């Protein structure tokens, strides 16, 4: 299928959002993330890094909330590059660097942004190599493969292989990830079929399942099918009526229902 602009897809591949359900494995950060509080995440990350500069989890969170801010990103990149050098076996450091490079690519224009592609890909691949069961890191790599042109290592087959490999480690979350690839490729029925059997156990799985349906809604929107997109939004809100995923679903619904000028 045709791909969107390189800058846009890099933003999607690398930028962290509070829409993502919390799953990174640090209770304090995860709670703030689930509640959609990036400012509080940044404050906590800076406090922890002040006490322990080698706190790679705090650095990952700081990098993730800094992706969209040029000044904060510029300050975070040298810290994260040092982290990769000092802690080459830290998946957190490699993942954080890939996200920050994605932010740089997003704001550098198409041609200049392409120069970051190899570094983003290498960072995400290394993170998955070091932490193959981590959902965030696997998800970043899947999105990179979906978004990037083949000339810089992208491709739907790579995305599906990565998602299916994750499903062997975590069948529940892996099913949502496989659905994401299918939705991106506009295989809508297959994408829904992956989600239907899933019964969420707890808030994190509930939000992740809702996000799976919201991604299908977004794919229908991009395909120009507003009624089906709205149906998937209704499904999203039935699963998760409140929270960051629900807020995003309502914004998408408002966009779809807005009268065309």
pLDDT < 70 stretches in the chain: 1-25, 112, 261
Q: What is the CATH number of the domain that holds 227?
A: 1.25.40.10
Same domain, yes or no: 187 and 135: no
What was the pLDDT predicted at 139?
A: 95
Give the domain range for residue 43. Answer: 1-169
Same domain, yes or no: 160 and 51: yes
Same domain, yes or no: 196 and 248: yes
Same domain, yes or no: 23 and 123: yes
0.85 exceeded by the pTM? yes
Same domain, yes or no: 4 and 85: yes
> Pick from 169, 193, 223: which residue ends a domain?
169
What was the pLDDT predicted at 31?
A: 87
User: Of 128, 186, 133, 124, which is closest to residue 152 (Cα–Cα)?
Assistant: 124
Q: What span, in angstroms and rounded, lies between the C-alpha atoms of 76 and 60? A: 10
Same domain, yes or no: 164 and 200: no
Q: What span, in angstroms and rounded, lies between the C-alpha atoms of 239 and 261? A: 33
Same domain, yes or no: 165 and 178: no
User: Of 164, 127, 131, 181, which is closest to residue 14 (Cα–Cα)?
Assistant: 127
Q: Residue 136 has which token pair? A: 């965030």
% residues pLDDT > 70 (the chain):
89
> Pick from 149, 169, 189: which residue ends a domain?
169
What was the pLDDT predicted at 115?
A: 84
62 touches 93 (CB < 8 A) = no
Angle at Cα 159 formed by Cα 156 and Cα 165, nearest 5°?
Answer: 140
What was the pLDDT predicted at 25?
A: 60
Q: Residue 86 has which token pair? A: 């000092």
> Pick from 169, 185, 212: which residue ends a domain?
169
What was the pLDDT predicted at 24?
A: 53
Angle at Cα 143 formed by Cα 210 and Cα 217, nearest 5°?
Answer: 35
Same domain, yes or no: 143 and 181: no
Same domain, yes or no: 187 and 106: no
Q: Burial code of 30-61, b = ≥16 C-beta within 10 A, e = fewer?
A: bebbbebbbebbbebbeebbeeeeebbbbbbb
Q: How many domains does the chain have?
A: 2
């Amino acid at each position: 299928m045709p791909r969107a602009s390189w800058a846009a897809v890099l933003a999607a591949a690398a930028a962290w959002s509070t829409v993502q359900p919390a799953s990174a494995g640090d209770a304090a950060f995860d709670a703030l993330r689930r509640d959609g509080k990036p400012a509080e995440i940044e404050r906590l990350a800076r406090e922890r890094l002040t006490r322990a500069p080698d706190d790679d989890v705090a650095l990952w969170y700081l990098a993730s909330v800094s992706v969209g801010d040029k000044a904060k990103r510029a300050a975070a990149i040298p810290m994260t590059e040092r982290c990769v050098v000092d802690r080459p076996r830290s998946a957190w450091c490699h993942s954080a660097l890939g996200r920050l490079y994605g932010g740089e690519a997003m704001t550098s224009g198409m041609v200049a942004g392409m120069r970051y592609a190899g570094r983003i890909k290498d960072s995400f691949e290394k993170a998955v190599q070091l932490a193959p069961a981590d959902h965030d890191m696997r998800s970043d790599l899947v999105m990179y493969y979906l978004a990037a042109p083949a000339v810089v290592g992208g491709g739907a087959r790579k995305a599906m292989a990565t998602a299916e490999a994750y499903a062997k480690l975590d069948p529940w979350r892996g099913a949502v990830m496989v659905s994401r690839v299918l939705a991106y490729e506009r295989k809508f029925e297959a994408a829904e079929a992956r989600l239907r059997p899933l019964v969420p156990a707890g808030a994190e799985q509930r939000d992740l399942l809702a996000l799976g349906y919201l991604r299908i809604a977004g794919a229908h929107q991009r395909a120009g099918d507003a009624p089906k997109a709205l149906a998937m939004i209704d499904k999203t809100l039935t699963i998760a009526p409140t929270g960051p995923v629900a807020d995003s679903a309502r914004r998408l619904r408002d966009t779809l229902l807005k009268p065309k000028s």
